Structure 1
């Protein structure tokens, strides 16, 4: 019975299967073998996924856009019923529908029937073991509801190790930085394949990078860090920070668009010391521009990680509003993540009982592994290792397909 390999990611997803001894990736959208893990519910229309979901948002279609669904696995929010797509449903229902679309596309292209699936999963969905197991149980239930009768899981960095190439006998370290988690695997290449020695992970990824950068750049332009006049008496109060944290968090943005939030922001504007900034916040909430701001921050992060300074274009909020972003500014915004990443790499090496100097190669996997911060941290811990880039977005699904076969 053929098994389908699915890399259901926080930011992107990919699907593959074995065909005549070779990995065959499913073309998911416009000839691409990866798909943004995003959905859009237009008012009165059918759910759209992937790039089509993002385009609907950009085009200003009325509806609800959702991204980073994987980060909600294992939480009570995943099972809360809400009005989406004209009916009450849960995020579990949404993930199920997304996975069913992936299965349908794989079956249509391959001509095969896939009742079994091998899915990637992070080493840790959550630090808490109970919640971590609940997240796997949630995802398993979604696969079953999507039509799979047999569901197995493999740690994502271990799958990436299976698809890596190198010299026999070498010790390697997979550094898999995804949208929501960072995972690491020490492995040895041998004549009979790859031997996994130890794996470790933390709940930290690209969406955390986006949130930190947004909180230090875009959110101050919407009033974060400003003050309010007291309704009675003298003195001033700080503007509440919770709304900015939610507005900078991909998975929380859709739930800000309520009348309750609008009323709260109206009160903030009324007593704002820097009123124009709070009026921008009001515009973002009223016109549902939270994801537009998040996309602008993400685009700036990617651009500045290249050759030079970049811009965070917030003209969707206010004409000509744009923020200059430098490498130094990016590094300062993300500085808090260096130590957790470094410590987790050391803990992975310790679990494998190998020293940093024994690692011959560091293999970077996942879109966020392309960040200079990640590369510099890995190189600092393993200074003699050769840094190599796997297929950043398909290394995991290729390894899953090999294991599934």
Structure 2
């Protein structure tokens, strides 16, 4: 049975598998390699995923959602047509779509997968990703960090050894990893990142700057107009590296404004975000104890690394331009497919070994009575960038006389005060009464290749151990909640695969019709009417021929290329 590799992205997702010729991507039901990470419900309550859903973002914004990956690991819920969905449930719908595409392409059931996650995803977010896989009917054999997956695909493709810096900026996150490839071993030396820095943030900054210049309150715009503005800024961002000036027609509810977006304007707006990207790079280089001259190559991953401003900034830091000969949108899925083959013990990859690191520090709170600061202090147990799997034990003692219970709180972060770090969970331990400092406990943290943390606490005097796998975190379901979610997902209606092409074309045509005027609008209406008539005749060969013609016509009319 084939184990697939999945890149579950903020903007787009993709999947692949291993072949005799190396990793290959699996096309979706539209014949495309990238599936937009967008989910919607139509008027009948049926689920729409991917391109067809993305085409509905403007005109059906109340029943369509994108960029929900940024909510993974949180309690946030999203309302679609009066139904509440969590981020793992929405991600599961994307994964289910990829799973069905893989099954149709491979001609066999697909039940196991390797899923990529940002290197800087915390424990909560990793659990939420595994949950999404389970809800989609997949056994998640391994979570692989996105930069590591990219490095695997790049290393195998290039067949060269050395030390590589992987810069991965997608729609929602920015990851930095430093890896060394030698003698069939891919060793991660350091990781750093920013979970809230990606293409979505550049678009947000552009929208805010534009509205500020025009002195328009964002809250005064209705959802449809605001969504249209976001789409226009997304399109402009993608073209800004090729065009000095772009003329954009803005529609603010009847008041139309023609506005010029220049490369200099974009540079001013984007510079604060670009400067934020330098900090994770510098931290990873420092943790790996490397100088820029010791980096053999710089590999860019994720669509946002196409920005010329980002590439020139990286060039100034390292004194040379990064590699741009690999597709930043698909390399993670290819690497995840390689990892899937490794787990399947594929004979062609038996000689390859992969190591990874814990990208953040894990520890607990302790009392420090010598300091005037209020609250607990952070005691690191597993330091960031420790090679995984890793298991570290620290001995602690009671802080008060006659304690009968000790509450061990588990944190992730880099600040010396626990209140400024991320709380992951707690473990309550019963201990015998004794003077302060007399009773001791051994605290062991174990962190595995999936980025999951297990905590064991042993009361030394009793040799009794308490254990906890961190899983009751924000956004993570109990078994009862998971069962209820599975029932809810099973009750949802999904459109037949064969109708997805038609739905995507009609949705695109409707979007273009809404955005057009005059002759162009009439032409689009005629195209859609003819297509509707062909669909009504239900002639399979005629429909397939019409699909190609309609696709070409609509693409030629689509001046707002935001795909």
Q: TM-score, normalised by structure 1?
A: 0.77
| 3-state SS, counterpart of residue 47 of structure 1 | strand
Where does residue 275 of structure 1 map in the other structure? none
Where does residue 248 of structure 1 map in the other structure? none
Number of equivalent positions = 338
Residues in 2 aligned to 1:335 and 1:90: alpha-carbon distance in whole angstroms: 33
* 1:113/1:21 CA distance change after superposition, 3 Å: farther
Residues in 2 aligned to 1:21 and 1:123: alpha-carbon distance in whole angstroms: 28
Higher relative contact order (CA 8 A, sep 6+): 1
Pairwise mapping of residues 18-97 of structure 1 onto structure 2 (< 5 A)?
18-57=18-57, 60=59, 64-77=63-76, 80=77, 83-85=79-81, 87-97=83-93
- Pick which of 161-170 and 97-106 moved more: 161-170
Alpha carbons 2:39, 2:93 under 8 Å: kept: no
The alignment status of 1:159 with 2:159, answered yes or no, reads no
Cα displacement string for residues 25-67 of structure 1 (whole angstroms, at most 9, x for unaligned residues): 1112422101111122222241212211122345x35852211
Residues in 2 aligned to 1:151 and 1:290: alpha-carbon distance in whole angstroms: 40
Where does residue 119 of structure 1 map in the other structure? 115
Instruction: State the Cα distance separating 1:222 from its structure 2 match.
Output: 6.4
* 1:367/1:12 CA distance change after superposition, 3 Å: same
Residues in 1 aligned to 2:61 and 2:264: alpha-carbon distance in whole angstroms: 38
Cα displacement string for residues 255-306 of structure 1 (whole angstroms, at most 9, x for unaligned residues): xxxxxxxxxx6xxxxxxxxxxxxxxx34x24xx3332111011111112221
Where does residue 182 of structure 1 map in the other structure? 174
| 3-state SS, counterpart of residue 179 of structure 2 | strand
Instruction: State the Cα distance separating 1:385 from its structure 2 match.
Output: 5.7
Where does residue 333 of structure 1 map in the other structure? 269
Q: Which residues of structure 1 form unaligned runs of 5+?
A: 126-131, 225-243, 245-264, 266-280
Residues in 1 aligned to 2:320 and 2:89: alpha-carbon distance in whole angstroms: 47
Alpha carbons 2:171, 2:304 under 8 Å: kept: yes
Residues in 1 aligned to 2:159 and 2:108: alpha-carbon distance in whole angstroms: 35
Where does residue 126 of structure 2 map in the other structure? 136
Alpha carbons 2:177, 2:189 under 8 Å: kept: yes
| 3-state SS, counterpart of residue 161 of structure 2 | coil
Where does residue 128 of structure 1 map in the other structure? none
Residues in 1 aligned to 2:325 and 2:30: alpha-carbon distance in whole angstroms: 25
Question: Going by fraction, where is strand more abundant, 1 or 2?
Answer: 2
Cα displacement string for residues 112-137 of structure 1 (whole angstroms, at most 9, x for unaligned residues): 32222111111113xxxxxx211111
The alignment status of 1:110 with 2:81, answered yes or no, reads no
Larger-gyration structure (1/2): 2
Choose which of 262, 283, 291 in structure 1 pairs with 2:227. Answer: 291
Pairwise mapping of residues 304-319 of structure 1 onto structure 2 (< 5 A)?
304-315=240-251, 317-318=253-254
Question: Going by fraction, where is helix more abundant, 1 or 2?
Answer: 1
Instruction: State the Cα distance separating 1:388 from its structure 2 match.
Output: 2.8
* 1:316/1:100 CA distance change after superposition, 3 Å: farther
Instruction: State the Cα distance separating 1:12 from its structure 2 match.
Output: 0.8
RMSD, aligned α-carbons = 2.2
- Pick which of 341-350 and 163-172 moved more: 163-172
